């Protein structure tokens, strides 16, 4: 009999790939949605299941409702918890980011404890739970960032998304220490890019690529370094952490750190003359004047633009045996998939 795995956030950008890989491996996968009657929201997952060795089962659950995951978790062997808001467009960071991330984690882990069959929880955190600003590494006197580091610079008002991720992860570790039924493994992916599986997505990653290809940054790109990883590698990391019995602790999942201008140059090298890409690097002093147009605060600019940082991903390679996709392929596959799904013009 195949193992039963509950996947929260299963219709999200990374979650869809996690479900796809689980189904292809023959797992019985339970997914959660807010309203089962809106089958169009998860029809593409059912289609994947129809062509895979595994089976799918749909449950209703809400991140903010205590006990709503209990039925879905009952009888499961493990839980992969991906559900958490990821948006950079918000009005109330506490209500829209922090509370759902924190309360959702508590509710899902409570469901894990309530189900005596659950032996492992794989939690999706983020690399921004490791650091908040690019300057963090320098301020801490580090040569590189690793799984030993936690974000201590983000707050409700500065980098609230990053703050929501580190708060939720720390809460998860506290809960895990208070019980002995299940083991917790945490995945800390970098900024995820790569091909989406559906048009039914509001992913910030898709919006980010759309903005670049539509010329939002044509007047200039900031010297801003970002850590990236392929969505398929992020999903595979979850599966590897699930399967590997001695997987433990946190795993940074990042293929490389690259600055914004170099990122767009990779697009240019593969699609020369196709898209209105940045023509130059924007000086930092100019960003203080125009950063508001891109949603960048003065504090964000001062603590992130112009600073180099390094991430150590060796644990994911050594323990999980994760083989990373080259970022050049990630970019091309993403653009081609977006074209095929009519998310951008061909």
Question: Is residue 284 annotated as part of the catalytic site, yes or no?
Answer: no
What are the CB-based long-range contacts (under 8 Å, 24+) for 232-235?
232/17, 232/194, 232/195, 232/325, 233/194, 233/322, 233/324, 233/325, 234/14, 234/17, 234/187, 234/189, 234/192, 235/14, 235/17, 235/18, 235/20, 235/21
Residues 6+ apart with CB under 8 A from 4: 27, 28, 29, 30, 75, 76, 77
Q: What is the largest CA-CA distance in the chain?
A: 62
Residues 6+ apart with CB under 8 A from 325: 194, 230, 232, 233, 255
Q: Which two tokens stand for residue 262?
A: 């170099």
pLDDT value of position 295: 76
List pLDDT tens digits, range 256-296: 999 999 999 999 999 999 999 998 998 898 888 877 777 78
Dihedral angle computed from the Cα positions of residues 189, 195, 200 and 201, in that order, rounded to the nearest 10 degrees: 30
pLDDT value of position 241: 98
* Residue 187, phi then psi, degrees to nearest 5: -105, 125
Alpha carbon distance, N-terminus to C-terminus of the chain: 45
**CB-based contact 121:182 (threshold 8 Å):** yes
Ordered by start, the domain boundaries in the chain are 4-193+227-256+310-325
State the DSSP code for 205.
H
3-state SS assignment for residue 81: strand
Per-residue pLDDT band at 220 (split at 50, 70, 90): confident
CATH class of the domain whose range is 4-193+227-256+310-325: alpha beta
Catalytic residue among 165, 167, 244, 274: 165
List pLDDT tens digits, range 166-204: 999 999 999 999 999 999 999 999 999 999 998 877 788
pLDDT value of position 2: 67
**CB-based contact 165:190 (threshold 8 Å):** no
In this model, does residue 24 exceed pLDDT 90?
A: yes
- Whole-angstrom Cα distance, residue 323 to residue 341? 27
């Amino acid at each position: 009999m195949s193992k039963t795995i509950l996947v929260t956030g299963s219709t999200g950008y990374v979650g869809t790939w996690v479900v796809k890989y689980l189904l292809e491996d023959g797992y019985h996968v339970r997914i959660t949605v807010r309203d089962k009657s809106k089958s169009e929201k998860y029809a593409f997952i059912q289609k994947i299941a129809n062509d895979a060795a595994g089976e799918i089962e749909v449950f209703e659950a809400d991140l903010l409702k205590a006990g709503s995951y209990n039925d879905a978790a009952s009888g499961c062997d493990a839980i992969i918890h991906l559900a958490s808001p990821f948006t950079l467009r918000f009005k109330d960071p506490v209500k829209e980011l922090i509370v759902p991330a924190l309360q959702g984690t508590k509710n899902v882990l409570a469901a894990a404890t309530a189900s005596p069959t659950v032996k492992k929880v794989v939690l999706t955190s983020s690399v921004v739970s490791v650091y908040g600003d690019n300057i963090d590494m320098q301020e801490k006197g580090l040569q590189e960032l690793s799984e030993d580091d936690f974000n201590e610079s983000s707050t409700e008002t500065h980098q609230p998304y990053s703050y929501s991720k580190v708060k939720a992860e720390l809460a998860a570790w506290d809960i895990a220490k208070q019980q002995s039924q299940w083991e917790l493994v945490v995945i800390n992916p970098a900024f995820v890019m790569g091909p989406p599986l559906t048009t039914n997505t509001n992913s910030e990653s898709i919006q980010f690529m759309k903005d670049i290809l539509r010329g939002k940054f044509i007047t200039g790109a900031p010297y801003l370094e970002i850590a990236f990883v392929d969505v398929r590698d992020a999903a595979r990391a979850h599966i590897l952490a699930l399967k590997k019995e001695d997987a433990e602790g946190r795993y940074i999942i990042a293929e490389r750190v690259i600055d914004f201008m170099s990122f767009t140059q990779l697009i240019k090298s593969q699609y020369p003359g196709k898209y209105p890409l940045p023509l130059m690097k924007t000086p930092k002093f100019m960003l203080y004047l125009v950063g508001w147009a891109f949603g960048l605060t003065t504090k964000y600019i001062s603590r992130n633009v112009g600073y180099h940082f390094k991430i150590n991903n060796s644990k994911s390679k050594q323990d999980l045996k994760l083989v990373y996709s080259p970022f050049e392929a990630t970019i091309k596959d993403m653009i081609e998939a977006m074209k095929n799904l009519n998310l951008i013009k061909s």
